[in-house]
């Protein structure tokens, strides 16, 4: 099994993910559709060879994976692509899912990222969050924003990622990219250190716990620009998730802090388009005085109503984005209804068109 050749072929076919799971043929995903490389089901011994070969190719110690059963890392094959690897054991056999990451970022318009999202790169302080389910393109959107800053501003950009995905060259900015568990012990340790490294922009791959969120909010309060992500769906849910991460005695204080530092929340999800590709739908919440007041006063549940009625403020609700994709002929009626936040209202809106 020539592992390098398999990865090269996956890259050439435009695959986004490669699945190495015992009991199933080698499988790759392209434009949201699963394809098998052949009809030969992988045995546990085959997946063992593949996974150990990946570690050799990445020049990474396999000991931690063998002891814990889980590992995440990235590596590159020169002239081919970068790969983000998640290895795990299932039913006692070695398994892996490999994400293919291009060396070069596509233009945001090719990825259908709205201008309103890219304009967030102009923010100079505070916090911008990009949220959505796993695999919805959050990392790619954040990478495009960082790339825009890198090409347009003289700044020190620090990225803290687990693992590193897109590599940024130094353009107008200096870009320091740190990988968790390789360059530093944790997000929290790296974030605290970053505040002493004269940063203008900090990309925090994910806000996973109370301490990291607390430190990130404090960093935003002191004039730094923080970009980060959360696995939440919807701007209001994102606010609730952050507040709920804090003890009850601190929730009012974090609400006041969030109302002050948060600049925008972008939520995205990928939908199957009529031509077989995956296309993103976006919800964009910009922090207006009205929304800041709702957060400060604990009335987060009223935020969705403001988003729906604030298109002039560069805001868009998820269902409005989905409806526009349908009007543009990019998704079909079934997708529009099934992916809507409120399917009943979406169905009525479609019937009126």
State the CATH number of the domain containing residue 147. Answer: 3.40.50.300
Predicted TM-score (pTM) of this structure? 0.88
Residues 167 and 63 in one domain: no
- For residue 295, which of 212, 204, 206, 217 has the smallest C-alpha distance? 217
Residues 20 and 149 in one domain: no
Residues 197 and 286 in one domain: yes
Range of the domain at 45: 3-101
Residues 174 and 31 in one domain: no
Q: Is 258 domain-assigned?
A: yes
Q: Is 349 domain-assigned?
A: no
What is the spatial distance between Cα 283 and Cα 317, in angstroms, rounded to a whole number? 5
Q: How many domains does the chain have?
A: 2
Of 101, 136, 156, which closes a domain?
101
Residues 96 and 229 in one domain: no
In a structure prediction context, what are the per-residue pLDDT tens digits for the chain, which is 353 residues long? 689 999 999 999 889 999 999 999 999 998 888 999 888 999 999 999 999 999 999 999 999 999 999 999 999 999 899 999 999 999 999 999 999 998 888 899 999 999 999 999 999 999 999 999 988 999 999 999 999 999 999 999 999 998 888 899 999 999 999 999 889 999 999 999 999 999 999 999 989 889 999 999 999 999 999 999 999 999 999 999 999 999 999 999 999 999 999 999 999 999 999 988 899 999 999 999 999 999 999 999 999 999 988 877 889 999 999 999 999 999 999 999 999 999 999 999 998 87
């Amino acid at each position: 099994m020539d592992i390098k050749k398999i990865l090269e072929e996956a890259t050439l076919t435009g695959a986004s993910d490669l699945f190495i799971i015992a009991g199933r043929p080698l499988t790759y995903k392209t434009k949201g559709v699963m394809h098998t490389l052949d009809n030969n089901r992988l045995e546990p011994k085959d997946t063992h060879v593949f996974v150990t070969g990946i570690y050799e190719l990445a020049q990474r110690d396999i000991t931690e994976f063998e002891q814990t059963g889980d590992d995440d890392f990235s590596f590159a094959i020169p002239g081919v692509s970068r790969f983000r690897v998640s290895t795990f054991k299932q039913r006692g056999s070695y398994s892996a899912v490999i994400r293919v990451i291009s060396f070069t970022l596509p233009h945001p318009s090719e990825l259908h990222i709205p201008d309103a999202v890219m304009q967030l790169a102009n923010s100079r302080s505070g916090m911008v969050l990009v949220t959505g389910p796993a695999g919805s393109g959050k990392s790619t959107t954040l990478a495009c924003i960082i790339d825009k800053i890198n090409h347009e501003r003289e700044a020190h950009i620090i990225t803290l990622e687990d693992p590193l995905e897109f590599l940024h060259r130094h353009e107008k900015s200096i870009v320091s990219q740190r990988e968790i568990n390789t360059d530093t012990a944790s997000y929290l340790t790296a974030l605290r250190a970053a505040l002493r490294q004269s940063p203008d922009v900090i990309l925090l791959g994910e806000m996973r716990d109370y301490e990291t969120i607390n430190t990130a909010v404090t960093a935003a309060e002191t004039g730094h620009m923080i970009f980060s992500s959360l696995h939440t769906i919807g701007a209001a849910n994102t606010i609730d998730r952050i507040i709920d991460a804090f003890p009850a005695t601190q929730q009012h204080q974090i609400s006041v802090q969030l109302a002050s530092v948060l600049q925008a929340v972008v939520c995205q999800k990928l939908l199957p388009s009529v031509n077989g590709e995956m296309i993103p739908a976006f919800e964009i919440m910009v922090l207006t005085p009205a929304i800041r007041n709702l957060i400060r006063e604990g009335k987060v549940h009223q935020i969705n109503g403001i988003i729906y009625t604030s298109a002039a403020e560069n805001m868009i609700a998820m269902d409005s984005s989905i409806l526009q994709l349908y009007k543009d002929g990019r998704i079909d009626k079934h997708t529009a209804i099934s992916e809507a936040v409120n399917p009943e209202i979406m169905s009525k809106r479609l019937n009126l068109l």
